[in-house]
Amino acid sequence: MRKAVIPVLFLTSCLLGCNVPTQIVTPMQVKTPTAAFTPLPSLTPTATIASEYPIIDVPILAIQVTDDEGGRVTKITALQVAAWISKANEIYAWSGIQFSFGMQDFVTLHSTLLNNINGVEDQNWFEEVAYADQVAARYPGKLVVFFRWGQGDQPTGGAFSYWDYNFVAMPGFLDTSVCGYQNIGILAHEIGHFLGLVHPFAQVYKNAAEAEATLESNGNNPAIFDGDGFSDTPPDPFIALDEYQCQPVPGVSLNGTFFPVPRENIMSYYEVRTGLSEMQIERARWTLSRRMAHGMSMPENAQAPSPAEAQNMSPLSNSGCSSGIQVMSAWGK
């Protein structure tokens, strides 16, 4: 087992806190509070890891989003961003991926469009994602995190990212919780999605009986619960009950098969989440290398002059599988 020195980050307090096109407010333009404060120091990790993985530094840019006229200000400060990043550095220490952040990396954006971004069901989803990617492109080499309000009068507690978005969307610091306390691991989880990782579970079940029924209807094959395809993360029949997510139970038995709870995996929904598997680390580092080669954006082929469409290709042979048509228009170009 490799040993790691986990970075300890010493923080000092600070308080910060349209339609396109819009303007980014730089740190020099942000009004300082009347109370005295000490600027947040640069949070460049100093950890050294005794492993085969050389350390990769990933600078983070935090963007606090408001509406066009400054309303619905997402409740986040630079110090709170730093707390989330500190936890992410602890979780990713084994991987050699570490995140840096400083006072100059906290800016404000006035954009109702982006403040409303919530998910693929959004009426303006394609426009929201396109603009979020456009803003992120202004900061090549940095992992851009938007702290937005969400839709409605009450702030969202949800967050999201994925390998084909060039940003992470987060809520306010105290607007999100899990198992009755502040969700300190949520940024590390969403960064995992940004780095190409998916959940170890294939779907969420309301109770054990529902999971058992799925297992039985699939010949009691545990692989039906495998969400990420990695052999070093166990199949996970995630059951959305506090009994399993929040309590220190070792696992759940379904139709005579015991499934351990992967609490050590940041990509799970269990608490307390602490790390990554070897295969997850390899995937994350590979995806990060692709992003870094393109200014922290994933390469894409939306503008390819002569694209080859998969639906126009004929399978040469089938082995142990079946094929069908899936309408993909909901996911954009």
CA distance 153 to 268: 30
Lookup: tokens for 258? 């015991």
CA distance 208 to 197: 26
SS3 of residue 312 by DSSP: helix
pTM: predicted TM-score of the whole model, two decimal places: 0.80
Q: Which residues belong to CATH 3.40.390 in the chain?
A: 3-194
Residues whose CB is less than 8 angstroms from the CB of residue 109 and which lie 6 or more positions away in sequence, other chains included: 22, 24, 25, 63, 64, 65, 66, 135, 146
Token pair 């070093």 is found at 232
User: So what CATH class is 3-194?
Assistant: alpha beta
**Which among 323, 226, 265, 236 is positioned nearest to 92, based on CA atoms?**
265
Strands (E) located in 96-209:
97-100, 106-110, 143-147, 168-170, 177-178, 181-182
Strands 97-100 vs 56-66: parallel, antiparallel or unpaired: parallel
| Sequential pLDDT tens for the chain (333 residues) | 433 433 333 333 332 223 333 333 333 333 322 223 233 444 444 344 445 789 999 999 999 999 999 999 999 999 999 999 999 999 999 999 999 999 999 999 999 999 999 999 899 999 999 999 999 999 999 999 999 999 999 999 999 999 999 999 999 999 999 999 999 999 999 999 999 999 999 999 999 999 999 999 999 999 999 999 999 999 999 999 999 999 999 999 999 999 999 988 999 999 988 899 999 999 999 999 999 999 999 988 877 888 888 878 888 888 887 767 788 777 766
